[in-house]
Amino acid sequence: MKKTFNLPRGTADILPEEAHRWQNLENTARKILARYGYQEIRTPIFEETELFTHSMGQTSDVVQKQMLTIKPQKAQDSNESTSFALRPEGTAAVVRSYIQNSLDKKENLSKLFYIGPMFRGERPQKGRLRQFNQIGVEAIGPESASPYLDAETIALSIDLLTAAGLKNSQLKINTIGTAEDKANFQTLLKRKLKPCLADLCEDCRDRFDRNVLRVLDCKNTSCKAVVKGLDITREWLSPESLRYFSTVKEALNALGIKYREAPDLVRGLDYYTQTVFEISDSSLGSQDALGAGGRYNNLVSELGGSAVDAVGFALGMERILLALEDETPAVSSVDLFIAALDETAIKLAFPILNELRRNGVAGEMGYRAASLKSQMRLANKLNARYVFILGEDEIKKGVVTIKNMATGDQKQESLTDPKKLAELLK
Ligand code: AMP
């Protein structure tokens, strides 16, 4: 028996019947992103592994457990020892490109967006894939250093989700302060967590040493209970960071954006500073995060660029589509179906259809001779607005019978002028 092939675990085929939902989401996103002044950037889907380990932090879960590295079967070039990885997220690559293309020399604020696949070697489950898609934005440059841009970025993410049709998403915000504040917080958190180490899961006991902030993100019930009991406040934040956060909140209030302050919200990646936020939708169950983001003021310089600030987010497209209740099937239609009833008719119809397409008509034909009845069935399936019938009689007279499928009206027109035929269909 021949081997059959299945798609890799944790990936999905998007068939034509679902593709329109993706197209709608992308089109809506592009429209909203343009309103906020964002321009598209397309970077490769793989980069040097070190770009991700360096930016996301050696101790992040993604880098530790989920990186999909690429191993060429045989090194093409024996000098090439660089390791590559499929991108697990978009920010690092965008920042790499920002630096490499000297965008900082060209503009004070680069508002960049991307739409595309990301890859993480996770245990697949509902809403958690190994290849998934994100819509992400990054606002990088000296002009990014404003709490109003944090608020605008959050507003944009909410606008995108609302425009996509989501009504019940919840926004949580927090601040983790400057890099120094973050270090103070880590020390404080370690002090508070130390007596509870035995109640933490194995992963978190490891995180305690590697990346203590990650303990706050753990979904394990016993870890969640420990975190709840810690009574995390903001005493470790500098006045400057508190002021910054107040302005972000005031700006959100001015826009009428509802949010919940979550002092235990931290993002697992090393590069975040100041504002962090997460948007969730409870209808999604355990994997309820629709997207997340925040400010990352040190990443550009960490990756060798100038000292410029940045803020961004990424939304998970699969999760958005899962949360959307609307599953209306696509109603596609064609302008024209040509029912060519025998071989001579097919030979004649074939170039006519091509000419009509060149004149703007969306058309199809039956490519094999078949009865009028079976061809009409095909035309109906395609939702054709008009059908050209081309049989022995029509060919003799040099005409085509045009049937209007909505009214059932029929008339005959000369076959010799495809431009005129195209006009008739418009
Ligand atoms: P993150 O970069 O982990 O903050 O992810 C941002 C968003 O991408 C999440 O809120 C999810 O909506 C989505 N996402 C992240 N990982 C996955 C995954 N493995 N499968 C599907 N969606 C994901």
* Ligand 1 contact via 289 beta carbon (within 6 Å): yes
* Ligand 1 contact via 342 beta carbon (within 6 Å): no
Pairing of strands 363-365, 336-340: parallel
* Ligand 1 contact via 291 beta carbon (within 6 Å): yes
How do residues 109-168 score in pLDDT, each as one tens digit? 999 999 999 999 989 998 899 999 999 999 999 999 999 999 999 999 999 999 999 988
CA of 37 to the centre of ligand 1 (A): 24
- What's the average model confidence in pLDDT over 403-421? 91
Q: Which two tokens stand for residue 406?
A: 């909505």
- State the pLDDT at residue 410: 96
Q: Cα separation of 195 and 200, whole Å?
A: 10
**1: helix, coil or strand?**
coil
Answer whether 403's CB lies under 8 Å from 387's CB.
yes
Give me the percent of the chain exceeding a pLDDT of 90.
73
* Ligand 1 contact via 378 beta carbon (within 6 Å): no
Exposure string for 88-122, b = 16+ CB within 10 A, e = fewer: bbbbbbbbbbbbeeebbeeeebbbbbbbeebbbeb
Helix (H) or strand (E) holding 118: strand 110-119
Q: Best substitution site from 169, 319, 320, 321 to test ligand 1's pocket, by max atoms within 8 Å of Cβ?
A: 319
- Sheet with 336-340, edge to edge strand ranges: 363-365, 336-340, 386-390, 399-404, 410-414
- State the pLDDT at residue 77: 60
Question: Which protein residue has the closest C-alpha to ligand 1 atom 18?
Answer: 128
CA of 372 to the centre of ligand 1 (A): 51
- State the pLDDT at residue 73: 66
- State the pLDDT at residue 306: 94
- What's the average model confidence in pLDDT over 168-174? 95
Report the atom number in ligand 1 closest to the C-alpha of 291: 10
CA of 198 to the centre of ligand 1 (A): 30
**Chain centre distance of CA 302:** 26
* Ligand 1 contact via 278 beta carbon (within 6 Å): no
* Ligand 1 contact via 87 beta carbon (within 6 Å): no
- Please, what sign has the CA dihedral across residues 147, 152, 153, 157? positive
**63: helix, coil or strand?**
helix
**366: helix, coil or strand?**
coil
CA of 39 to the centre of ligand 1 (A): 22
Q: Cα separation of 9 and 134, whole Å?
A: 19
Question: Which protein residue has the closest C-alpha to ligand 1 atom 10?
Answer: 291
Q: What's this model's pTM, rounded to 2 decimal places?
A: 0.91
- What's the average model confidence in pLDDT over 234-261? 96
DSSP-derived letter for residue 276 is: E
Answer whether 114's CB lies under 8 Å from 94's CB.
yes
Question: Which protein residue has the closest C-alpha to ligand 1 atom 12?
Answer: 316
Q: Cα separation of 160 and 154, whole Å?
A: 10
DSSP-derived letter for residue 119 is: E
How do residues 301-330 score in pLDDT, each as one tens digit? 999 999 999 999 999 999 999 999 766 666
Burial class of residue 314, CB neighbours in 10 A (0-12, 13-18, 19+)? buried
Under 8 Å CB-to-CB from 326, ≥6 apart: which residues? 165
Query: pLDDT band at 210, cuts 50/70/90?
Result: confident
Describe the crossing of helices 16-35 and 147-164 by its angle, rounded to 10 degrees: 150
Average pLDDT value over all residues in the chain: 92
pLDDT over 60 (residue 78): no
Higher pLDDT, 71 or 284: 284
Higher pLDDT, 50 or 57: 50
Pairing of strands 260-261, 69-70: unpaired
